[in-house]
């Protein structure tokens, strides 16, 4: 492969991490002292540093490991910790070179260990540098540099491949860590599974139409199989990547506030303690939070929903074709603001709940965010399906309260009133709404992820250049940050300054997007069976777009480990379960004519609807139980590897135990085999046995010792047994003669 054209892309100068240290002119002395403390802390944990000028009053501190021996020691320490927590089946070999030959160090593991050296607390062997927290408020970011040669090859390979192979996922894991590897593995698995609902959905759309009971049953079964199979595959990947159980290695959260210190009853160590009862009382605040979020967001969405129906179906005055976009504008403006406020409140509530570890904190926060996303993503369709269509004729007369939004444009009052007779709802509204969320909204999200950040970055760079040129013309420009760069480093430093300005990649955002997309398929695809086709095309592009986003638009992610996609797996199961309920309800309400009850609930029998939902849910639970058992019986390379590792550990232990037995003291009968078996020439007789018993009684032996001392060795035991058998046979023969 030809090398990249830009010399700044050909090398990373052996840099492991870059620390962006930003300061202001107001606190110059404090910033100087803090910077000196920063370099000293890095040096104390075996890291070399180099500093260069950054952009906008910042410094770039380049960090690398001072010696490979020190790094190997940290690798051994990390792997021993994994073994103690059960992540590794066997203890790592103490000989470092031999251990790394049998289990090579990949780039993700190397970068993770170095990052922990920088950020872990001094008690854990780290420098304790936490960006934007505490005394390190001037440390803006810590990031590794992109490998542009690898990135170019990665994007080129993926752009021509339809499916990702296991080797492709392994390469992602080796470069970006298991957490991002699990995201791409999940998305790839989901994409592969989408082939069936795409093909079957197209067939159902062609042959069966909307609200088909057959399609509803098949798609519910598909949701069950996918979620259960992913759990199976997730386990297999965790074993294959050597991270099964890594979530048990809890990282203490820096914001945790303990109430007291106690002695751990298991380890005997002194640990920080916060009562679980107090945390539970704080967690109960999640209930009012969920209610408030539902009321606030629900009110906004329902209001815009009512305005849009009023303008589209009641108002018949001037500019109706323009005013119909008014609720969309209100929703687009207000919804992000309210969501941001509630997200911030959720973050504060999460901190108030005072979780001890980072994983428990992230899990709780993800659950809160899922509640917000569930409302904003699905509520509008729920309103159309379960309020507007069945009860439209009842609620339309009350929508005149929204006439105030268009009253300035109306020519008379009659244009603001619904016709008393002949009014019908729009039965096609539900289908169009589902198409919008499953096609249009997906395209908009894709553009917001890839195109908008690129345009924003290019525009911001151009704006800064224009400002600099204007200031230079006026004689008031600031010095060029690259003016003193060594010529051989100029291209490299320009690239690093550019990467320092990029956003930080958050894999949780992409996981959330995939899970919410799955929700549309599980909940509402019965309305429009082509949903699977749309998602199949979108996700093929999404996989490649995410790769481009990571390589071009984001800083290189820190390669964190994980053995699961986390709480999003519970969200998948919840959406699959809820889908069995909503799908059955939609089929009952709409399947007879594909239109529904045209605004009047007269034909809806409450008992029939509830019975339909009840049977559907219980069938779902029963089938899920059966599928879970069936998939659990499937074997896989990961499970075989796990069993093989456990077997090797047990066999090694067994062999070591047998080797130890060879050096154990011999038994009495084996040491004195000649004496015990009569091979010394002593004849075993009744008199000899009685004489032996007499000697034992004279020496004051216990009853038990005398019992076990009558016969020595197997030969003597066999001789006595032989005599007993012969005597018994003789007595039996004499008894027969007497008869």
Only one residue has tokens 């890594």, namely 246
Euclidean distance between CA atoms 700 and 705, whole angstroms: 10
Q: Specify whether the CB–CB gap between 561 and 250 falls below 8 A.
A: no
Question: How do beta strands 58-65 and 47-53 pair?
Answer: antiparallel
Cβ contact 590:210 at 8 Å? yes
Residues 6+ apart with CB under 8 A from 136: 34, 38, 129, 130
Residue 399 contacts residue 312 (beta carbons within 8 Å): no
What was the pLDDT predicted at 669? 45
Of residues 427, 436, 335, the one with CA closest to residue 388: 427
Out of 297-306, 412-421, 441-450, which region has the weakest mean confidence (pLDDT)? Answer: 412-421
* 260's tokens: 């007291």
Is residue 63 classed as helix, strand or coil in its secondary structure?
A: strand
What is the percentage of the chain residues whose pLDDT exceeds 70? 83
Instruction: Judge whether 251 and 359 are in contact, CB under 8 Å.
Output: yes
Minimal CA–CA distance to 649: which of 89, 99, 245? 89
CA distance 434 to 389: 14
Q: How far is CA 199 from the centre of its chain?
A: 29
pLDDT, tens only, 591-616? 765 554 554 555 677 788 888 889 99
**Which of 116-130, 319-333, 654-668 has the lowest average pLDDT?**
654-668
- The count of other CB atoms within 10 Å of the CB of residue 646 is 12
**Hey, CA dihedral for 264, 267, 272, 276, is it positive or negative?**
negative
Write the DSSP symbol of residue 19: E
The CA distance from 255 to 372, in Å, is 24
User: What does the pLDDT average to over 69-74?
Assistant: 86
Most confident residue range from 73-87, 174-188, 587-601: 174-188
Q: What is the pLDDT of residue 671?
A: 47
Angle, CA of 409, 415 and 418, to the nearest 5°:
135
pLDDT classification of 61: cutoffs 50, 70, 90: very high
Report which of residues 323 and 532 the model is more confident about: 532
Torsion over CA of 245, 246, 247 and 248, rounded to 10 degrees? 70
Higher pLDDT, 258 or 404: 258
Helices then strands (H, E): number in the chain? 29, 6
The DSSP code for 168 is: H
pLDDT at 192: 92
CA-to-CA distance for 61 and 31, rounded, in angstroms? 14
Average pLDDT over residues 57-62: 89
Instruction: State the DSSP string of 373-440.
Output: HHHHHHHHHHHIIIIIHHHHHHHGGGGGGGGGGTGGG-SSGGGGS--SSS----TTHHHHHHHIIIII
pLDDT given for residue 100 in this prediction: 75
What tokens were used for 262? 């106690």
DSSP state string for 669-728: HHHTHHHHHTTTSPPP-HHHHHHHHHHHHHTT--HHHHHHTS--HHHHHHHHHHHHHHHH
10 Å CB burial of residue 737 (0-12, 13-18, 19+) is exposed
According to DSSP, the residues that pair with 58 across neighbouring strands are: 22
CB 198 within 8 A of CB 521: no
Phi, psi at 198, each rounded to 5°? -70, -50
Cα four-point dihedral sign 556, 562, 566, 568: positive
Q: Around 152, how many Cα atoms within 13 Å sit in the side-chain half-sphere?
A: 11
> Which residue is listed with tokens 């339809």?
162
Among the listed ranges 179-183, 184-188, 281-285, 699-703, which one has the minimum average pLDDT value?
A: 699-703
Higher pLDDT, 205 or 357: 205
Among residues 442, 456, 457, the alpha carbon closest in space to that of 545 is found at 442
Residue 678 pLDDT > 50: no
Contact 463, 427 (CB under 8 A): no
The pLDDT value given to residue 2: 45
Most confident region among 179-183, 427-431, 547-551, 699-703 by mean pLDDT:
179-183
Residue 84 confidence (pLDDT) above 60: yes
Rounded Cα gap, residues 533 and 318, in angstroms:
39
Q: Tell me: the pLDDT tens digits for 243-291?
A: 888 877 767 777 788 778 787 776 677 777 788 888 889 889 989 999 9
Query: Is the per-residue pLDDT at 221 higher than 90?
Result: yes
Tokens of 72: 């190997």
Q: How far apart are CA 204 and CA 610, in angstroms?
A: 26
Structural domain boundaries in the chain: 13-145, 158-251+285-472+502-633, 668-738
Measured CA to CA, the distance from residue 644 to residue 652 in angstroms comes to 12
Asked if residue 734 has pLDDT above 90, the reply is: no
66/64 Cα distance (integer angstroms): 6
pLDDT band at 683 (very low <50, low <70, confident <90, very high): low
Residue at token pair 């962006």: 20
Token digits for 553? 């638009």
Q: Is 241 helix (H, G, I), strand (E, B) or coil?
A: coil
Report whether 521 contacts 577 (CB < 8 A). Answer: no
Residue 529 confidence class, pLDDT cut points 50, 70, 90: very high
Given a cut of 80, is residue 378 above it in pLDDT? yes
Nearest residue to 183 (alpha-carbon basis) of 576, 550, 531, 637: 550
The neighbouring-strand residues paired with 181 are none
């Amino acid at each position: 492969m030809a090398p990249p054209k830009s010399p700044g892309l050909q090398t990373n100068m052996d840099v492991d991490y870059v620390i962006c240290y930003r300061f202001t002119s107001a606190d110059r002395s404090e910033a100087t002292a803090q910077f000196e403390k920063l370099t000293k802390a890095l040096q104390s944990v075996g890291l070399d540093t180099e500093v260069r000028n950054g952009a906008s009053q910042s410094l770039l501190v380049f960090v690398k490991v001072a010696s490979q021996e020190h790094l190997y020691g940290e690798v051994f320490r990390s792997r021993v910790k994994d073994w103690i927590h059960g992540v590794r089946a066997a203890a790592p070999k103490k000989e470092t070179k031999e251990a790394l030959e049998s289990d090579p160090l990949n780039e993700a593991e190397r970068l993770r260990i170095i990052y922990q050296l920088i950020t872990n607390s001094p008690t854990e062997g780290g420098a304790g540098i936490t960006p934007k927290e505490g005394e390190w408020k001037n440390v803006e970011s810590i990031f590794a540099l992109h490998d542009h040669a690898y990135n170019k090859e990665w994007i080129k390979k993926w752009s021509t491949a339809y499916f990702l192979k296991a080797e492709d996922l392994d390469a992602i894991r080796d470069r970006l860590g298991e957490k991002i590897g699990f995201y791409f593995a999940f998305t790839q698995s989901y994409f592969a599974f989408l082939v069936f609902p795409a093909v079957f959905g197209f067939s159902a759309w062609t042959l069966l139409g909307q609200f088909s009971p057959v399609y509803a049953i098949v798609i519910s079964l598909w949701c069950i199989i996918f979620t259960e199979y992913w759990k199976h595959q997730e386990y297999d990947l965790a074993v294959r990547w050597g991270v099964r159980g890594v979530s048990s290695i809890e990282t203490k959260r820096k914001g945790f506030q303990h109430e007291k210190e106690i002695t751990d009853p298991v380890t005997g160590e002194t640990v920080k303690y916060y009562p679980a009862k107090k945390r539970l009382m704080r967690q109960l605040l999640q209930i009012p939070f969920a209610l408030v979020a539902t009321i606030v967001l629900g009110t906004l969405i329902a209001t815009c929903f009512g305005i849009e129906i009023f303008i589209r179906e009641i108002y018949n005055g001037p500019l109706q074709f323009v005013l119909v976009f008014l609720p969309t504008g209100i929703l687009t403006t207000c919804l992000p603001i309210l969501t941001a406020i509630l997200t911030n409140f959720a973050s504060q509530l999460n901190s108030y709940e005072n979780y001890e570890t980072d994983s428990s904190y992230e899990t709780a926060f993800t659950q809160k965010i899922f509640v917000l996303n569930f409302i904003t993503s699905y509520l509008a369709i729920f309103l159309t399906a379960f309020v507007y269509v069945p009860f439209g004729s009842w609620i339309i007369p009350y929508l005149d309260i929204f006439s105030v939004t268009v009253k300035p444009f109306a020519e008379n009052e009659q244009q603001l009133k619904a016709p008393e007779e002949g009014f019908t709802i729009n039965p096609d509204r539900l289908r169009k709404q589902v198409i919008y969320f499953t096609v249009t909204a997906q395209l908009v999200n894709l553009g917001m992820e890839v195109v908008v950040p690129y345009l924003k970055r290019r525009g911001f760079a151009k704006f800064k250049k224009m400002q600099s040129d204007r200031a230079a013309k006026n004689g008031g420009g600031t010095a060029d940050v690259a003016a003193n760069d060594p010529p051989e480093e100029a291209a490299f430093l320009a690239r690093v300054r550019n990467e320092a300005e990029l956003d930080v990649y958050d894999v949780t955002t992409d996981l959330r997007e995939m899970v919410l997309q799955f929700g549309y398929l599980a909940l509402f695809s019965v309305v429009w069976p082509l949903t699977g086709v749309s998602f199949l095309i979108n996700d093929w592009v999404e996989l490649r777009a995410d790769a481009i986003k990571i390589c071009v638009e984001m800083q290189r992610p820190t390669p964190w480990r994980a053995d699961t996609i986390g709480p999003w797996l519970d969200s998948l199961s919840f959406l699959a379960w809820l889908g069995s309920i909503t799908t059955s309800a939609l089929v009952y309400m709409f399947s007879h004519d594909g239109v529904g009850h045209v605004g009047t609930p007269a034909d809806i029998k409450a008992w029939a609807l509830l019975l339909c939902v009840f049977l559907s849910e219980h069938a779902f639970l029963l089938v899920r139980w059966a599928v879970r058992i069936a998939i659990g019986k499937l074997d896989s390379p990961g499970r075989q590897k796990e069993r093989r590792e456990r077997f090797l550990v047990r066999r090694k232990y067994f062999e070591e135990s047998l080797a130890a037995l060879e050096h154990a003291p011999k038994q009495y009968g084996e040491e004195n085999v000649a004496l015990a078996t009569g091979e010394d020439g002593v004849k075993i007789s009744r008199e000899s046995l009685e004489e032996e018993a007499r000697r034992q009684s004279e020496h004051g032996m216990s009853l038990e010792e005398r019992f076990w001392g009558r016969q020595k060795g197997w030969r003597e035991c066999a001789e006595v047994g032989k005599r007993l058998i012969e005597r018994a046979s003789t007595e039996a023969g004499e008894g027969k003669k007497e008869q």
